[in-house]
Amino acid sequence: MKIVLLGAGNLAAHLSAALKNAGFEIAQIYNRSEKSARELADALHARCTTDAAQIDTDASLYLMCVSDDAIASVAGKMPPTDGLVVHTAGSVPMKILSDKFRNCGVWYPLQTFSKSRPVDFAEIPLFLEANSPENLQLLRQIAGKISKKVYEATSDERIRLHLAAVFGCNFVNCLYNVSAGIVGEAGFDFEILAPLILETARKAVASGDPGKVQTGPAVRNDTSVMQKHTELLSDRPDLPEIYTRLSKYISTSRFPDA
């Protein structure tokens, strides 16, 4: 099966490495900038191009690993093809591809990717969508070779998954950053928070339901501690409001003492 990769960023690098490990061959890489296209192509023994008109038209699968904003423009520049063209974005509907391509779909990995951190693709949930049962079947076959966790999700379900990821990853990291700032002001390094951060994540995952393992002043309705905390934040923009909103959410949610 001939595969063309569009994009050469973190996701493109990790996904293509996983495909190669599973025995697939990437024939060609298209990327706007030559340098990263060349580096990834060398690693994969693939050809590369920065000219969309030069993209092979006879591949079976076109994997778009470009930023959300770039999907429409890359799709617009691609030559016509009967191959299956899929993007990898959580919040972009499949229909962005269906006007132009007869065979299209989506392959959404629910994970955060960084250049320098290895990932175990076998454990990454992949959410697939396609414009026909045959195309879905093809995506399932390929996905099943690199991940143990393959699901089907509509465009509407996928944007909800992406929204959940914003809370469970992006906003969580933002709170880590708030914590880091507070311990820094108290004269300590961020690393003192590492055991707490890791245990909180592991505990929630092991619980199967983070609502069951909620702790802290808000779930105990310990108003005197919450009062002291918001006073400490009073000279910081946004943080008193964030503290109060999240505390209110905890105390009025479906936790036992609500």
Chain positions 195 to 234 lying near its own copies, rule: CB under 8 A, are: 195-206, 208-211, 213-219, 222, 225, 228-229, 232-233
Q: Does 117 bind its own copies (CB under 8 A)?
A: yes
Interface residue with its own copies, options 171, 223, 257, 258 (CB under 8 A): 171
Residue range at the interface with its own copies (CB under 8 A); choices 17-25, 52-60, 98-106, 249-257:
249-257
Q: Which is nearer to its own copies, 42 or 176 (CB)?
A: 176
Of 170, 95, 103, 101, which is closest to residue 136 (Cα–Cα)? 103
The vertex-140 CA angle with 124 and 47, nearest 5°, equals: 80
Q: In whole angstroms, how close is the CB of 253 to its own copies at the nearest point?
A: 7
Residues 22-41 that bind its own copies (CB under 8 A): none
Contact window for its own copies (CB under 8 A) among 22-30, 54-62, 114-122, 133-141: 114-122
Instruction: Name the amino acid, one letter, at 128.
Output: L
Total interface residues for its own copies by CB under 8 A: 91
Question: What is the helix (H) or strand (E) element at residue 109, kind and residue range?
Answer: strand 104-109
Name which of 220, 27, 18 is nearest 122 in CA terms: 18
Q: Which of 53, 115, 238, 256 binds its own copies (CB under 8 A)?
A: 238
128, 140 in Cβ contact below 8 A?
yes
Pairing type for strands 25-30 and 126-130 reads unpaired
Query: DSSP class of residue 48?
Result: E
The structure tokens 């199967």 sit at: 208
Site for its own copies in 58-97 (CB under 8 A): 68-69, 91
Nearer to its own copies, 79 or 181 (CB): 181
DSSP codes of every residue in 10-31: HHHHHHHHHHHHTT-EEEEEE-
Closer residue to its own copies (CB): 82 or 185: 185
99 vs 119: CA distance, rounded Å: 34
Decide whether 25 or 257 has the Cβ nearer to its own copies: 257
Dmax (CA) for the chain in angstroms is 68
Residue 25 CB, shortest distance to its own copies, in Å, is 27
